[in-house]
């Protein structure tokens, strides 16, 4: 600290009538032995350096002679890289350019619909290119599969009805006993 600053501080402290003499002597001794750390002990060293540029090293005093606390430096606001990034993102948002490649829900749904439509068109093109003989063979194969499924269902129904009849007979026998 400058000697001129110390003298003005001591002069200001001695002229205030509300401070007791012992408090004045204590502050004087702290200034002389440089026990007062202008930046505080809670702020890390890297932030202390940046805080020195923003705030004057002289502590501000209120009417009672007490040091007025100051806000600690905000590293987010002081980081120029972060500020530039924020400005750039805000600019791109304003002009409507999407730099982060994020799509809205509507855009994703539209793309999904377009993909489904393209798949259907591709399937239709493949079916249109098939010769007539293959189409007829495919239709007959479907009919045969349908008939075999129907016959299996009928067999299952017969088996189920036989099973149900046998069960009913057993049930009546056990009930009668």
Q: With H, G, I as helix, E, B as strand and everything else as coil, classify residue 177.
A: coil
> Which pLDDT value is given to residue 11?
63
Is residue 68 within 8 Å of residue 61, measured between CB atoms? yes
Radius of gyration of the chain (CA): 45
Residue with token string 């001591």: 10
> Which pLDDT value is given to residue 77?
81
Question: Residue ranges per domain, the chain?
Answer: 3-71, 124-176
Q: How far is CA 170 from CA 75, 157, 159, 160, 177, in A?
A: 86, 20, 17, 15, 11
Residue 51: burial class (beta carbons within 10 Å; 0-12, 13-18, 19+)? buried
Chunk the chain into consecutive blocks of 10 residues (it has 177) and report each block's average pLDDT, rounded to whole numbers: 63 55 70 52 49 61 88 84 91 85 85 95 86 85 86 76 84 79
The pTM score is 0.27
> Which pLDDT value is given to residue 41?
47
Structure tokens at 170: 């057993």
């Amino acid at each position: 600290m400058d000697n001129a600053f110390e003298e003005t501080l001591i002069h200001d402290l001695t002229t205030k009538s509300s401070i007791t003499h012992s408090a004045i002597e204590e502050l004087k001794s702290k200034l002389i032995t440089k026990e007062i750390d202008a930046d505080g002990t809670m702020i890390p060293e890297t932030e202390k350096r940046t805080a020195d540029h923003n705030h004057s090293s002289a502590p501000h005093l209120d009417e009672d002679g007490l040091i007025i606390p100051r806000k600690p430096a905000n590293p987010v606001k002081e980081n120029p890289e972060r500020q530039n990034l924020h400005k750039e993102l805000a600019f791109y948002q304003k002009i409507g350019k999407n730099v982060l490649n994020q799509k809205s829900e509507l855009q994703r749904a539209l793309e999904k619909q377009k993909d489904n439509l393209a798949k259907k068109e591709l399937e239709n093109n493949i079916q249109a290119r098939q010769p007539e003989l293959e189409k007829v063979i495919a239709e007959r194969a479907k009919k045969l599969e349908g008939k075999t499924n129907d016959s299996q269902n009928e067999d299952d129904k017969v088996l189920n009805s036989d099973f149900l009849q046998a069960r009913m007979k057993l049930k009546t026998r056990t009930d009668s006993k």
